Structure 1
Amino acid sequence: MTTSRLGDYLRSRRARVTPPDVGLPEDGRRRVPGLRREEVALLARISVDYYLRLEQGRERRPSAQVLDALSDALLLDDDGRLHLYRVAGMMPPPRHEGGIERADPHLLTLTELWDRTPGLLLGRAYDVLAANALGRAVFPHLRPGANLLLTMFLDPSVRSFHADWEAAAANAVAGFRFLAGARPNDPRIHKVLRTATENSREFADLWNRQDARGKSNAAKVLLHPDVGELTLRMQTFDVRSAPGQQLVVYHAQEGTRTADALRLLGSLAVTRPGPRDDSPHP
């Protein structure tokens, strides 16, 4: 019998779902565990013949709509849905676009333990969802509730904060385009894009260059108003529990003036703490 990774996965998931799990009657005359093929087809609203071809490996290019319907029919969680797309040779579009974003409180608790590591949590449209104490001290203009992209272009003080504002601005725009490509229908991304375009010609010019790249390991030179020049390396991590969110972490080489400055900023942050912010963002 012809087979495929997709067919093998569909059969294995079908065997793990019982009729009562999906609101179907249990007739008690089943020779194999789980759902029948015709029941999966019914739930996914596709023909039985088409579903049979998928399981047998004779059909290997289902549409995203079919994969999402099968994911729902087989009660797959987000990881299961992602794997279903992968074995079908595709990448899934975001399951939910728009809506309220929240910072994971456990992630916030973890980042607050980093007394030498500034951290920022960014949302799907570069909204600052949260920052640890040192992150707030290093980036006073990026308090929770701000938007990194809009602040870069619409806050005049940011130009003197970056030693090379032009490079920082170009990287911010390329990163925003990279995010927008993954979520083309997200209303928050469209709102930020519209605001930036209408209020900054420099942003519009950079946007028209069509550069797209994600945040990566890079060095930044900042001119902090309290402690002077800071040379920081940046690492960016996708937040697995909240697709679209990014945790941006900065660190300094030990023994340098920047490392000493971070310790000073950390001590200042203890004496004048600010809210880390757990509130939702659009």
Structure 2
Amino acid sequence: MEIAKLPAEARARRAAEIREFLRSRRARVTPADAGMAVGDGHRRRTPGLRREEVAVLAGVGVSWYTWLEQGREINVSGEVLDAIARVLRMDGVERRHLYLLAGLNPPQTPPATGRRVPDELRQVIDSWLPRPAYLIDRHWNLVAVNRAAELVFGYREQDHNCLVTFFTGARYRSSLVHWQDAARAIVGQFRAEAARYPEDAEFGRLTADMCAASPEFAEIWAEHDIRDATNGTKTVAHPEAGELTFVYTTLILPDLPGHRLMLHTPATGTDTQERLVSLLQAAVTQPG
């Protein structure tokens, strides 16, 4: 929402927040930190950088920066905010906060490169046992999978894309209960995800490949349905464990932009938990 359209009380709170936020960021950056020559004659009354110094280093007018720090309703651009964030040595979270306080949508964070999973996150995924858990990137490629997800869904780490597996994997299709309903949900979720990254051509390539490979995907994709991917219910008719019903939750990971952690919990009122334990125990005792 534009600042001018906010209620007066909300505008006042935002003005106070951006004032205190920018002052606190200035106070922690010394002239030496900013690469400025430090004079040895006069005592500085201002901790950190002065407003005038921030303006000069960011390439903006002193009056304009003063108005920004005062929370006035002025025109701002992403380029100028980036320059200020650079001068004040803001990290990604602080830069996003500055954008929001200034009334702009924060830019999309570039996707994390590579597939290395932090040790702490790997521990969370593995400790979710006997319940299934897995990590996917923005294109729904599987990045990390625990043993329960392998056994229940047939996933293999760094081997499958969730969307591809859903529509082309014989085992997944035959085991998922209410496949048609789930198909519409997953396509709607993927369309919503693709809309978040209009500059990412990989979504278009993957969509075209799926339309060519699966007439059912192409038919559902043409409906332009949009779904929420944060939570839902999934039932699997497992060939060995029988019917397993899960409630799944999606967690966004700020430290891994574009990645999501999918956690599955046995649905209450079912014996899914007991069946899961038996399935994993049988897998441990099987030879090879």
- Does structure 1 residue 23 correspond to structure 2 residue 24? no
Equivalent pair of 2:111/2:257 in contact (CA under 8 Å): no
- Does structure 1 residue 215 correspond to structure 2 residue 206? no
Q: 2-side partners of 1:252 and 1:95: how far apart?
A: 33
Q: 1-side partners of 2:189 and 2:39: how far apart?
A: 54
- Identical aligned residues as a percent: 37
TM-score, with structure 2 as normaliser: 0.83
The offset of 1:255, in angstroms, is 7.0
Question: Given the alignment, which residue of 72, 91, 100 partners 1:86?
Answer: 100
Match of 1:277 in 2: none
The offset of 1:247, in angstroms, is 1.0
The offset of 1:202, in angstroms, is 2.6
Bigger RCO (CA 8 Å, 6+ sep): 1
Q: 1-side partners of 2:176 and 2:230: how far apart?
A: 18
Seen in structure 2, the aligned counterparts of structure 1 residues 7 and 269 have a Cα distance that, compared at 3 Å, is farther
Aligned residues: 273
Match of 2:209 in 1: 195
Match of 1:34 in 2: 48
The offset of 1:253, in angstroms, is 4.0
Match of 2:272 in 1: 258
Match of 1:102 in 2: 116
Q: 2-side partners of 1:213 and 1:158: how far apart?
A: 21
Match of 2:3 in 1: none
- Does structure 1 residue 166 correspond to structure 2 residue 175? no
Give the aligned residue type for 1:112. Answer: D
Give the aligned residue type for 1:24. Answer: M
The offset of 1:197, in angstroms, is 3.3
Residue correspondence of structure 1 range 13-162 to structure 2 within 5 A: 13-28=25-40, 29=42, 30-97=44-111, 99-162=113-176
The offset of 1:204, in angstroms, is 2.9
- Does structure 1 residue 239 correspond to structure 2 residue 249? no
Equivalent pair of 1:111/1:132 in contact (CA under 8 Å): yes
Give the aligned residue type for 1:71. Answer: A
Equivalent pair of 1:133/1:273 in contact (CA under 8 Å): no
Q: What's the CA shift string for 1:99-156, capped at 9, x where partnerless? A: 3343222111222123321101111111111011111111114543311112222334
Equivalent pair of 2:150/2:156 in contact (CA under 8 Å): yes
Match of 1:229 in 2: 243
Q: 2-side partners of 1:182 and 1:119: how far apart?
A: 24
Equivalent pair of 1:224/1:230 in contact (CA under 8 Å): yes
Equivalent pair of 1:134/1:269 in contact (CA under 8 Å): no
The offset of 1:257, in angstroms, is 3.1
Question: Given the alignment, which residue of 183, 189, 203 partners 1:175?
Answer: 189
Residue correspondence of structure 1 range 4-19 to structure 2 within 5 A: 4-19=16-31
Aligned alpha-carbon RMSD (Å): 2.7
The offset of 1:80, in angstroms, is 1.2
Equivalent pair of 1:103/1:130 in contact (CA under 8 Å): yes
Give the aligned residue type for 2:24. Answer: S
- Secondary structure of the residue that 1:22 maps to in structure 2? coil
Give the aligned residue type for 2:80. Answer: V
Equivalent pair of 2:51/2:65 in contact (CA under 8 Å): yes
